Amino acid sequence: MSTVIKLKKSETALSKPSTSDLVAGEVAINALDQRIFVRDSNSKIITIGEAGGKRHESSTVEHTVTVATKTNKHRYNGTGSGSGYKIDGSFSPTIELVPGNTYKFDQADSSNSGHPLRFYYEANKTTSFSTGVTTSGTPGNSGAYTQIVVSDTTPSVLHYQCSAHGYMGNQVVIGTRNLTGLDTGDLGEGSNLYYTDARVLTKINATSIDALSDVDTATASPSTGQALVWDGSQWEPGTVGGQITVQDEGSALSTSASTINFVGSGVVASGTGSTKTITIAGGSGGIALTDISVGAEATASGNGGLAYNNSSGVFTYAPPTLSGIGGTTDNVSEGSSNLYFTDARINTHLNTSSASTNQVLSWNGSDYAWVNNAGGGGGGGNAFTNIAVAGQSTVQADASTDTLTLVATGLNSITTNATSDTITIGTPTGIPFVKEDGTSTSLNMSVAAGTLSSAVSSLYIPFVKEDGTSVTTLVMS
């Protein structure tokens, strides 16, 4: 059975049929704009052809996106995800976009769930592109879409791909000259060759430096050690300076040098032109080598010497020894510690100005001091030697610091006078005794012998018998 295709036409500028004008499969022609439209199975009006190139669209151009299992009609079949985008029913076609137009990719179909459509510079999604791109909703739900506004600055090639899976889409091409995101890796090599080290080395090895337009080696042939020197208009062979041989006291160092380094706080280098000035501080304020000399000394062991240290640059003077030098202490000035002997210094040390007659010099633990002679002229001997009392033990002096102590007992008394240096032993005035009632008292005796004082009526005198074994009391009344 034959299929009848209904054709509708219009001659109104920029006129485009709506879904109410066409049923699925019907075609419409705008004869004035020279454009052909068709309603597809998704009830979308799409442009299937136009003469004279792509037109500017006053309204948003919509594309319906669905997801299906890839077939061999997909550009990246066998690469990345097993699913691919379909745009208006076709597996990921290359889409041509026009600057100035807005394009909406409708993802309301449930097959889009989990497959957000985004734009990238590369098919493998290395770098995303988001300028003029907006998104809305969740793919697979009503109202979900990705939209892009194309301008003159939009890159000439972009890739629409799923942000969650690889190689589900294809590319869009745009008639712009913006090469953003495009590098030499995306271009095949033409007559403008790419750089390689091998190409440079081959060129250098095959070319003489004289081939350069501003180098002249023909007028004056170069010799060993020369370099190219600019003479104001071109480069030509010339000597740029020689090496300096550095010597240490006449012996050359192992290598020559092109730089001399001056070290020291007194060294100042200046100059901005070809001539530099090195200033070493010192001059009249310093010491010249001609100012240094060592005079001979009349010594037994030799003269002093001046030595120079090559490493530190320091002169060291070693004075001569003093052994064998003639003269006396009168030729040497007195220092602050080792003082000469004088009588005045000895007298001061011994405190002679404070000494008195019969005093002796004694050490007090920190210095000498004059003290009275306790021994009566014996100097450092004992104050007494032996003191004997009939019927008693002898008292002996063990050392010069021993002291003789007199003790008063009974009715005797002892008094001393430090001024006159005298000791007085008093006469007893009574005899102590114990009364009959056991209390103590004393017996006062008159001048006449044998007369008792009226103070007592009886006298009790204790005594020891001849055999020393018993004690009794003599009672006198």
What CATH code is carried by the domain that includes residue 168?
2.60.40.420
Domain count, the chain: 4
Instruction: Give tens-digit pLDDT for 276-312.
Output: 777 766 544 555 555 455 544 444 445 566 777 777 7
Question: What is the pTM (predicted TM-score) of this model?
Answer: 0.40
Please report the pLDDT score of residue 378 as a whole number. Answer: 47
Residues 65 and 176 in one domain: yes
Residues 39 and 4 in one domain: yes
Of the segments 43-52, 65-74, 410-419, which one has the largest average pLDDT value?
A: 65-74
47: buried, middle or exposed (CB in 10 Å: 19+, 13-18, 0-12)? middle
Question: Domain for residue 127, yes or no?
Answer: yes
Range of the domain at 368: 340-372
The domain boundary residue, chosen from 372, 390, 415: 372
Long-range CB contacts (< 8 A, 24+ apart) of 40-47?
40/88, 40/89, 41/89, 42/88, 42/89, 43/19, 44/19, 44/88, 45/16, 45/17, 45/18, 45/19, 46/88
Q: 412 in helix, strand or coil? A: coil
Please report the pLDDT score of residue 474 as a whole number. Answer: 52
What is the average pLDDT score of the chain? 76
Q: 114 in helix, strand or coil? A: coil
Q: Compare 127 and 316 and report the one with higher pLDDT.
A: 127
Question: Domain for residue 170, yes or no?
Answer: yes
Question: Domain for residue 118, yes or no?
Answer: yes
Q: Would you say residue 326 has pLDDT above 70?
A: no
* Contact of 146 with 132, CB cutoff 8 Å: no
Q: Tell me which of 22-36, 179-193, 348-362, 382-396 is least confident.
A: 382-396
The domain boundary residue, chosen from 348, 372, 396: 372
Residues 105 and 80 in one domain: yes
Q: Would you say residue 103 has pLDDT above 70?
A: yes
Residues 81 and 25 in one domain: no
161: buried, middle or exposed (CB in 10 Å: 19+, 13-18, 0-12)? buried
Instruction: Give tens-digit pLDDT for 421-443.
Output: 787 776 665 566 666 676 666 65
Question: Domain for residue 196, yes or no?
Answer: no
Dump strand ranges (E) for 187-272: 227-230, 235-238, 247-248, 251-252, 267-270
Question: Domain for residue 214, yes or no?
Answer: no
* Contact of 49 with 35, CB cutoff 8 Å: yes
Q: Which two tokens stand for residue 217?
A: 């080696």
Question: Domain for residue 236, yes or no?
Answer: no
Q: Would you say residue 391 has pLDDT above 60?
A: yes
Q: First vs last Cα of the chain: how many Å apart?
A: 197
Residues 177 and 62 in one domain: yes
* Contact of 51 with 32, CB cutoff 8 Å: no
Residues 45 and 69 in one domain: no
Q: pLDDT-derived band of residue 111, with 50, 70 and 90 as boundaries?
A: very high
> In this prediction, what percent of the chain has a pLDDT beyond 70?
66
